[in-house]
Amino acid sequence: MKIVVFGNKKTTKAFLENLISKQYKPHTLVTLDASLRDSFKISGVDNKLIDFALKNQINIYNPTCYKLSGINDYEFFNSNNFDIGFCTGWQRIIPEVILKVIKAGVFGWHGSGFEFPNGRGRSPINWTMRLGLNNIHHNCFKYSSGIDDGDIYETKNIKIETTDYISDVICKVLKHINDSSISVLEDLSEHKLKLFKQPNHTFFSFPKLDENDGELNLQMNRSSAINIVRSCSRPFPGSFIMDHMNNKIRIWKMYAFNDEKFTCKKDNIFYHDDKIILNFLDGKCFSNDYEILK
C-alpha cells in the first residue's frame, strides 16, 4: 500500500514510528524544508524529522508552499498514485484537487470537548482545556474541501484529568491516532472501510490561539488562570504575566496555593524561595516552573 503522510511535528515522527513498527512504512513524507518551516511558528516542530524519514528510507517531498497550492505540488500528487494519506502535525487545509487524486483520500484527526460539528476550527484541544472541560471527543475522519467537515471513521472519548497539562493530553490523543490509523489501513485492505456523515446543523468553531492568548492577569479567577497555563504549556509557547517591573514571566506549570499562614497583598506577585506566588481574584497560586524574561 502506497502511503503518504503530511506533517512537521514530533507527533508526526511518533506516528511514522508506529506505522513502521506495524509494517506499514509510508512511501513519502510531505514536510516543510528548513527555510520554509522556520518562517512559521509551529508548536512542537521536529527539526530532525527529515533526517528520521531518510534514515528509514521514506521519501521526502518539500512543497513549494505550506498551502500546497503550487502547480508543482499538484503535479507531484497527481503523478504518484498514492493509495491513502494521513495528516498529523500539518496545520493547513489540503486542497481538494490533491485530496481527489489520493485513491482512498486523506485521513486526519480533530477533537474537542464538543461533539462534531461543534468544536471545529483551530487549537481545539487547547480550547477544551482552557474552558476547563474534562473530555475530548476525538475523531478520525476523512478530509474534505471544508474545515473539519469530512465523514467520520470513528470517535473516541478521551478523559482529561485535572492534573493533566497539554503535553499529557497530546500523549493520550497520539495513542488514538496510532491505533485508529492502523484500523483504517486494515479495514481498507479488507475492503470494509465504513464512514459516517457528520450531523448537518448549526455549529460553532474555535478561533486560532496564539502566544498572546496565554497572558494572565491577577483579576482572573484562580481556576481560569490555571486552565490557561495547562492549555498552553510545553510544547506550546506557554502562558505569561507581567510583573510590577514590567518583566515578562513565562509560567509553564501552576498550582493552587492554600497555605493560610502565607499572606500577601491582593493583585501582587511574590518570589519565595524557588517559587513565584501569584494572588488572583479568589485565591493564590504558586509555580516552581517559570522563567523571568528580561
pLDDT in tens, the chain (294 residues): 999 999 999 999 999 999 999 999 999 999 999 988 988 989 999 999 999 999 999 999 999 899 999 999 999 999 999 999 999 999 899 999 999 999 999 999 999 999 999 999 999 999 999 999 999 999 999 999 999 999 999 999 999 999 999 999 999 999 999 999 999 999 999 999 999 999 999 999 999 999 999 999 999 999 999 999 999 999 999 999 998 888 899 999 999 988 766 666 655 888 888 899 999 998 899 999 999 997
DSSP E strand stretches across the chain = 3-6, 28-30, 59-61, 84-87, 106-112, 120-121, 135-142, 152-159, 205-206, 239-242, 248-257, 269-272, 275-280, 283-293
What's the chain's Rg over C-alpha atoms? Answer: 21
> What's the predicted TM-score (pTM) here?
0.94
Residue 250: CATH number of its domain: 3.10.25.10
Residue 54 burial (CB count, 10 A): 12
Spatial separation of the C-alpha atoms in residues 93 and 145, rounded to whole Å: 8
Identify whether residues 69 and 215 lie together within a single domain: no
Give the residue carrying C-alpha cell 493520550: 172
128: left (phi over 0), alpha (psi -120 to 50) or beta: alpha
Look at the chain and report how many structural domains it folds into.
Answer: 2
54 and 197 belong to one structural domain: yes
Asked if residue 222 and residue 195 are part of one domain, the reply reads: no
Instruction: Tell me the CA end-to-end span of the chain in Å, nearest whole number.
Output: 53
Exposed (0-12), middle (13-18) or buried (19+): which is 159, by Cβ within 10 Å?
Answer: exposed
Whether residue 246 sits in one domain with residue 199: no
Answer with the one of 205, 234, 259 that is the final residue of a domain.
205
Q: Are residues 167 and 189 in the same domain?
A: yes
Same domain, 97 and 187: yes
Q: How many CB atoms lie within 10 A of CB 276?
A: 21
Listed residues 172, 205, 238: the one ending a domain: 205
Whether the CB-CB separation of 288 and 274 falls below 8 Å is answered with yes
Total residues found in the chain within this entry: 294
What are the grid coordinates assigned to 107, written together? 485521513
* Cβ-based neighbour number of residue 172 at 10 Å: 19
Burial 129-152 (b: 16+ CB within 10 A, else e): bbebeeebbbbbbbbbeeebbbeb
Amino acid 90: pLDDT = 96
Amino acid present at 135: N
Residues 195, 230 within the same domain: no
Which structural domain, as residue segments, surrounds residue 113?
A: 3-205
Exposure b/e, 58-91, CB count within 10 A at least 16 = b = beebebeebebeeeebeebbeeeebbbbbbbbbe
The three grid cell numbers given for residue 140, joined into one nine-digit string: 478520525
Q: Which of 205, 228, 256 is the last residue of a domain?
A: 205
pLDDT recorded at residue 257: 87
> Where does 81-215 have alpha helices with state H?
96-101, 124-130, 166-189
Residues 198 and 66 in one domain: yes
> Is the distance from CB of 113 to CB of 119 less than 8 angstroms?
yes
Tell me what pLDDT residue 267 has. 57
73 and 200 housed in the same domain: yes
User: Is the domain of 226 the same as that of 199?
Assistant: no
Shared domain for 28 and 136, answered yes or no, is yes
129 grid coordinates: 482545556
Cα separations (Å) of 3 from 63, 184, 212, 275?
17, 12, 38, 49
Give the CATH number, domain containing residue 158: 3.40.50.170
Same-domain check for residues 188 and 279: no
